[in-house]
Structure 1
């Protein structure tokens, strides 16, 4: 009766190691790209000071004058977004598409001089962010990231359960036994960094998971609820606010991603006419008027203005603030200037507020340099734990192969850990689906291939 149980535990042990080997490269990549994005303000000022900083002048050009200058410089380009200067010493920025290229155009808001351009997709921060979110391969990459993050949660939770200090087993878990050498020292490094970094790693994984395309979108759909009356009297488009975010950059906060984008009424304008009226289309509200609306509505500096796309498009004023209590997302009718929707921190639910606070902590924004350094320490812990895990596997692998180390027979808690894994497989459906696939492959293929080899070795 013991052989089936042993066979089952051997199978589960293989899954554990295969999952770890799958997750580790992703954790290393996420840590490295996360460090780059974490220090975005400092790196931007170092690399692009000539584009970002300007000497303070006497009088700012209006947003409309700035827009006209960019149109003059790029007559064939489509302008999609405007980022006003964040203070008196910073440039203005326009996002334009010229042919197949998407460019960030920087303008001196005092002199009206185009300072230069930056490829909006192929710059350090955009590449780091796109790698971090979807591996530069779109939806499939997003699913791989989500799967790896879900499995990382499983490994951390089950590992915490298995390695939690019991009795006198504090050494090698709470602190490393520095007198050890070789595999035992690497094992202690892996266990100690994993133990102390577990809660921080779980925080990073779960706050990051909220941005994923499957689990994160489902989570948002359940918890990000706003009163329907906010949009009752507003014509709505078929798009959601998440369409304004891209792999390379973020426009709106996570909490509003699943909210509808209203539609402008090309016939209402200032006269209050119905949408089916045959009256001529009104003139479009100017960009400077949109800035005046943002100022009147107390939107904090650092916001962007997404320009209308098509006859029913709206202006979107959005700020994803370092302090989420300053978040704002406003949609403005492009003809009448009416604010069709205005979503702020006070409109978020309790879960959305918690997630938004977690996201800005994750990105190192909330309490300045100290927040950045804390998240850097977490990234370094993840790197150390991942590399030490690889070293341990390499040292314990079967001689002459890249297989799984032999099963330890002193793990009385392994059965409960498997229950934890099963529960987490339900919470994270991609993990659960992969468990079924891996189990089937292991039973149908890998374990059957191992039996003839075992017979030959007798």
Structure 2
């Protein structure tokens, strides 16, 4: 009786794991390093910029308008766009302003009104780390590459688990590395064991990070992040969304409200004009906006963004370490009316889950234990990526790329195809790139058939 041979799809999974790993590894190294820098932003900022950020506590703070006047006196040609009140008694106040085409962070002693100095808003350690982490400092193209890397990272984890799955061997090299291993065996064991124990944590980091991407993240928010329409029924809104207040270097509003519309100021300005000319009343003062934030119970750490144009609004927003303290308020610049006030209570289940995941991702929810856990995950991802590259380099044949070989007579792998289809549909950019890689791989096999067979 002839025994039926069960086809092995191991090399096919290995081949896709190879393609994913070679593309993803450099991005994972970059994301892990910049992630660690941003993870320890509070400590690093205090260490590097203590002279700008820390002040001796006084008895009474000056009004926000007085601080603004001091800034405008020192920088008469600067255009102020944001104010960040001191988050605690020993911290400075901060203004964001544009001067000669540069965006500056300006620091002021809130008790004495002394200007402490300035900082380039885009050319400091944290701004650079954040911009690299989010879009490689090249705008939309970088954002799409980061999204592709994160999506292919998920392919890497799934295919890696298939390759890791025990096939009769013991725990050594599967659950822990061979203690006496050297050379390529050591790096293979290290890569496999780290990949297994870190699989769920890596998936968590990739998925929570994907929510901030410009294509998938925006689409995800538009589909799942909904607020009751009645919240905006009585408020004239513009064509701009709250996400326009965020940038690669600065996070102002929470993810949950990024797709909400910005209201319009002065909808009834014709009734507030001077001498019947229909001219809108002067803007409310900055201190009045601060008073509104305090009266509404917005927690310290919030920022106030200036109106953009005659119909713009003052926006008060805090992206809180505890997302239950998130707040986003939009204030009519003429009347001081609160046009929108969005809090945790207004978030849906998806928005609450994402905001919680993002705060865990950034290591902010539970203080240093959360930071330490995220540091461990970043180091795990970093070492896993490096060990994969070292392992590839050690096994790579001289003068060749080292693509894992593949038989021609393999039948259709229905389970593998199903998984790839699900991932391709869930992450469209990844799906399109999968088709491109598959076509290139077919061309490679047709061109060098003798190297494709095991």
Q: Which band: TM-score by shorter chain?
A: over 0.9
Work out the CA distance in 2 between the residues paired with 1:408 and 1:182: 28
Please name the residue that 1:282 is paired with. Answer: 281
Q: Is the 8 A contact 2:17 2:160 kept in 1?
A: no
Matched, 1:233 2:234: yes
The 3-state SS of whatever aligns with 1:89 is coil
Matched, 1:254 2:266: no
Work out the CA distance in 1 between the residues paired with 2:451 and 2:140: 41
The 3-state SS of whatever aligns with 1:190 is helix
Work out the CA distance in 1 between the residues paired with 2:420 and 2:37: 32
Please name the residue that 2:133 is paired with. Answer: 132
Please name the residue that 2:110 is paired with. Answer: 109
The 3-state SS of whatever aligns with 1:76 is coil
Work out the CA distance in 2 between the residues paired with 1:12 and 1:418: 11
Q: Is the 8 A contact 1:81 1:305 kept in 2?
A: yes
Please name the residue that 2:3 is paired with. Answer: none
Report the CA distance between 1:280 and its aligned residue: 2.8
Q: Is the 8 A contact 2:11 2:404 kept in 1?
A: no
Q: Is the 8 A contact 1:104 1:119 kept in 2?
A: yes
Please name the residue that 1:171 is paired with. Answer: 172
Question: Structure 1 residues 408, 381: CA separation in 2 closer, same or farther (over 3 Å shift)?
Answer: farther
Q: State the superposition RMSD in angstroms.
A: 2.6
Report the CA distance between 1:240 and its aligned residue: 0.2
Please name the residue that 1:65 is paired with. Answer: 66
Report the CA distance between 1:144 and its aligned residue: 0.3
Give TM-score scaled by structure 1 length: 0.92
Work out the CA distance in 2 between the residues paired with 1:116 and 1:440: 56
Write the mapping of 1:126-165 to structure 2, written as runs, cut at 5 A: 126-165=127-166
Give TM-score scaled by structure 2 length: 0.93
Q: Deviations over 1:92-126 (max 9, x none)?
A: 00000002100000001111111000000010000
Please name the residue that 1:377 is paired with. Answer: 376
Q: Is the 8 A contact 1:162 1:414 kept in 2?
A: no
The 3-state SS of whatever aligns with 1:261 is strand
Report the CA distance between 1:422 and its aligned residue: 2.8
* Structure 1: segments with no counterpart, 5+ residues: none
Work out the CA distance in 2 between the residues paired with 1:311 and 1:300: 28
Q: Is the 8 A contact 1:266 1:281 kept in 2?
A: no
Matched, 1:450 2:454: no
Please name the residue that 2:211 is paired with. Answer: 210
* Structure 2: segments with no counterpart, 5+ residues: 1-5
The 3-state SS of whatever aligns with 2:341 is strand
Work out the CA distance in 1 between the residues paired with 2:372 and 2:100: 40
- Report how many residues are paired: 445
Report the CA distance between 1:179 and its aligned residue: 1.8
Please name the residue that 2:424 is paired with. Answer: 425
The 3-state SS of whatever aligns with 1:104 is strand
Report the CA distance between 1:415 and its aligned residue: 6.0
The 3-state SS of whatever aligns with 1:177 is coil
Q: Is the 8 A contact 1:322 1:366 kept in 2?
A: yes
Q: Is the 8 A contact 1:158 1:421 kept in 2?
A: no
The 3-state SS of whatever aligns with 1:356 is helix
Question: Structure 1 residues 153, 447: CA separation in 2 closer, same or farther (over 3 Å shift)?
Answer: same
Q: Is the 8 A contact 1:266 1:311 kept in 2?
A: no
